Amino acid sequence: MRKDKHLAVEMRRMGKSYNEIVAFLKIPKATLSDWFSQVDWSQEVRKRLDAKVLETSIIRLRELDRIRGLHLKRAYEEARIEAALEFEALKYNPLFIAGLMIYWGEGDKRTNYHTRIINTDPDMIRLFVFFLRNACRIPDQKIRAVITIYPDLRAEDCIKYWAEAAKISPKSFTKCVTIIGRHKSRRVTYGMCSIVVSSTYLKAKMLEWLRLMPEQLMKRSYYESIANEAGMV
């Protein structure tokens, strides 16, 4: 084993972050990802590493609007690499899996900037906000909400309802969007709520996580790892 690889593994076992190891050994993150994918971490080490990831800021929101040309391309690549590294620590986390599945089914994949879902189910909206806060570590000031309503609904009532349902501040809501419904009887009482985080960096990571998660869920080794940690085999 290469000396720097041995040191990297030992540092990781001690709970050091990828950034700390990269800074110390001066090696690319992609190299670390390749090395660590071949290591059979013990249950105790894996739990400690998972906790460290969740305690630190998993998502480093960046203002990519200021980056141009090659710098922008480099930032996208860095986002994808970080997403792949963090995925290894989060792929068994039920909240992480639930949040990704919500976004896979309900999320906006067309834009490069907005991580956004829209739904009328308050439980789904609340769970997605919980996912952003606790799995992705998005600060509350970055989580915004928009309500789409019909002309006969009072905006104040709808904002109050969704603020309580999603467990977010009414100040997080922008001006309601009013539409004319096509069906006179099939109407939602408090409109449709959108949860939005505006960050190209986060969006790049979400799309990478969505690429990685389905492949993992269809691997037998994924479930064998869960069974081993639960002491079922």
Note the pLDDT tens digit of each residue in 129-157: 999 999 998 999 999 999 999 888 899 99
DSSP state of 199: -
Report helix, strand and coil shares of the chain as percent, to nearest 5.
60, 10, 30
Q: What is the pTM of this model?
A: 0.71
Q: Which residue has the higher pLDDT, 20 or 171?
A: 171
pLDDT at site 233: 46
Quick one: tokens of 213? 């998660």
Q: Is 22 helix (H, G, I), strand (E, B) or coil?
A: helix
Segment 89-117 mean pLDDT: 92
Segment 27-31 mean pLDDT: 82
Q: Are 121 and 70 in contact (CB under 8 A)?
A: no
Amino acid present at 41: W
Query: What per-residue string of b and e applies to 168-180 under the rule 16 or more CB within 10 Å gives b?
Result: beeebbeebeeee
User: Which of 32-36, 92-96, 227-231 is the least confident region?
Assistant: 227-231
Give the span between the Cα atoms of 169 and 160, in whole angstroms.
9
Q: Taking 60 as the threshold, does the pLDDT of residue 41 lie above it? A: no
Segment 113-128 mean pLDDT: 95
Look at residues 15, 2, 103, 115 and name the one whose alpha carbon lies nearest to residue 56: 15
Q: What is the percent of the chain where pLDDT is above 90?
A: 38
- Which helix (H) or strand (E) covers residue 195, if one does? strand 192-198
User: Angle 140-141-147 (CA atoms, 0-180°, nearest 5)?
Assistant: 85
Q: Which residue has the higher pLDDT, 140 or 77?
A: 140
Side by side, the strands of the sheet bearing 143-149 are 114-119, 192-198, 143-149, 177-178
